[in-house]
Structure 1
Amino acid sequence: MPYLQPDASADLPRPFVFVHVGDLHLTVADAQNARDLDAIFDQLRSLHPSPGALVDILYLPGDIAEDGRADQYDVLRRALERAPLDRIRLIAGDHDRQHGSLEAFAALFRDVMGEERVAAARDEPPRRPLPEQYYYAEDIAGVRCLFLDLCSAGYGEAGRGLDFRLGWAQAEWLAREVRATLNVEGDPVRPCAVFMHTYPDDLSLPAERADTAGLFRAGRVQLVEMGHTHYNELAHDGVSLYAAARSVGQNEDGSVGYAVAAIEGDAASWRFKPLDQGWPFVLITSPADRRLATAPRRDDGRLEVRALVLSDEPPSAVHCRVDDGPWTEMTPPGTDRCYGASVPYPPGSRTLSVRAALPAWDGESPRGVDTDVIEPAGPDWVPPGRRGPPGSDAFSLGRWLQKGLRGDQLGPNRNGRHW
């Protein structure tokens, strides 16, 4: 049975917010993808009042280096000297084990994550059967975050094809971690997000595919954040949102950029920010869009609206409105980093818009203003019907330009070039 979303009028903690910079495939410092990474960091560093006040972590989803070589990771090390956040979280992708070893990635992992985290991971019971495994968990802004390693247990060598595996030790650890977020009745007591390189359906072993996808569904994992596809994609099965962001290093999908995602209560939100789009940037964090919802919304005739605004200066105005109705001013954030408002939502209403404008906006041009638009889930919401394998893109939402989704799956794993 789906559970009702909590009363949005109650006091809520600030949402968990992260930035996802897609597969980098770094080679040399003067390559375009390395320059794009520097530009992304420059843009994020300009955030007001500071990146750390608005964003919890910056996530790198694997395929950091094109061939897993030490000199390629040095390109990232140099970029990280000017990173917008100290809180970088990363995992390995198949290209990071392109030559059958994660030795160079291991050195990067120690540099970025710190010896203390590496030691804690090494001692995680049950003892790991492989010398190279890089999975870990932590609580961030009230969300249990699980970072998986799909590469250590497989072959991961160029020419042998993709061979994603969890391995028995990580599978047992993952099951314990997910179940620990549930109460004895099997209902979630805190949100859970999983960070992995690709869909569970891409795991090489059929049993691991079924077990992992089933665990995520039974454990009501809210968000599974991925790389690998090289294109932006959202797939939602009524329980878990699977989200993939386009590659920085091998990009056919459109403008280079990064995804901004949030979890607030049982609402997950996601939107892509193109690098060539200026500030501001708006993400509605509550209520949940009907396409991303996990439960019906209580209908009391009103919406409690919350939105994250990213910008290099305070916006002069942030407003929301229902359908084409009047704009309502939203109150500025306190410690919860979100603008808020309570607005009437009569029966038959369809859309909710939040618009932020900078002082220089002229009221007409697209420069200096941004709008996010969703369709709030209603009291009659029902989860999508069965479409295909769980933990796969069978539930893809397709084209959704407001969120940066083109829906054409241009990348090396579907309809794109063979990189």
Structure 2
Amino acid sequence: MKNPYFFIFIAFISGMLGIWVGVIFIPLFWEGLAFKDNIFSGIGTWIGSIGTIGTLLYLIYQNNQLRDNQKQTNEKQQEMWDSQREIIAFQKLQTHKKEFNAILDDLESNFPIIFVNRANFYRNIFPNNDFEKCSPKVPLAIKEDQVVAGDLSDIRDATKFINDSLNEFSLLSPQKIYNHTHRHLHQISSIMSTLHMNIIRPKETGDVFIDIGDGYFLLNAINPSLTLEIIERVVNTLMQFTGNKDNFQISLSYMCTSFYLKALQQFAFYETHHRGYFIFKKSKLGHYIDDLFSCLLIISRPELNEEPCLSEIRYRLNFLFCDKTELLLVLDSKEKLYKLFTEILYGVAEYCDKNKSSQEFDILRDELRTKCYVLKTID
């Protein structure tokens, strides 16, 4: 019933019927009744009632029509608002992704790194962002069971593990250095994978790689501060971008202590039969670095600290393994290597002359003589 005049028509027909029935047909059966006052009054009331009912029905119909029209209008407005919200959320998401990529680009321009699979990296950091909603802030998990692998809280925890690991190097006994260094390198590998980050730089002597494909670079055992600085900067930048600057900031680069360097170098150049799937880059003469470090370990024993013939050699080797530039210059020059091994040989030979019962130093002296001879004769 779409026509609003339908009920008016019904009311009119009902009224006419009432008149015909009340005025004409009833008198046919009850003569004289049509001309009595009370009959006219009853007929009028009856007809008025019918008109009132018709009007009421029409108003009900009209109210239903208005309500249906308003509902349709509201639904259309809601659809329009939902569409506008989706467009705004989509634009906000795209803008946020561009800002995220911009900070990664800035990091790549300042360090020799490249971020891979950025789309997955973004989803890991902002798992709740989609086409319907986008928030620039990410709350850090408080409880351990709230942490999801690869998310921002996982990155925070992995960075803490590295920080704690660096602090422990100064407290380790010699028997625990190897295993701790091995775990530490795995921690470095893990956080670099979580950060979707590769360090891209020319290979140098002392580089530590994971034995995957062409090698996945971790750090340089002679100068590991670059890797620590990169991790520090990337993590702090992510924390600032996600609104967590005041909640978590890390400092790793200053923790490159002599204890840390010695542990890395012992792992890289001395523990050659226990290094697992880690590989190390050496120059053409780089295999001599193992021999130099072995000499350093031997003459650095506490009971030999007061031996004047060894103190200068110990100082020289300690300085060498803390200065990447100088060490690389020595390893790239046969003449410099020969001179260094000769100096070590003189000091060890002097110690052997003073301590006739030191079989270990006798063996070391003979090995040094052989190396000096080889270095002098090779082309």
Task: Compute the TM-score of the two structures, normalised by the length of structure 2.
Answer: 0.20
Higher helix share: 2
**Which structure has more RCO (C-alpha within 8 Å, separation ≥ 6)?**
1
Structure showing greater radius of gyration is: 2
Task: Compute the TM-score of the two structures, normalised by the length of structure 1.
Answer: 0.19
Higher strand share: 1
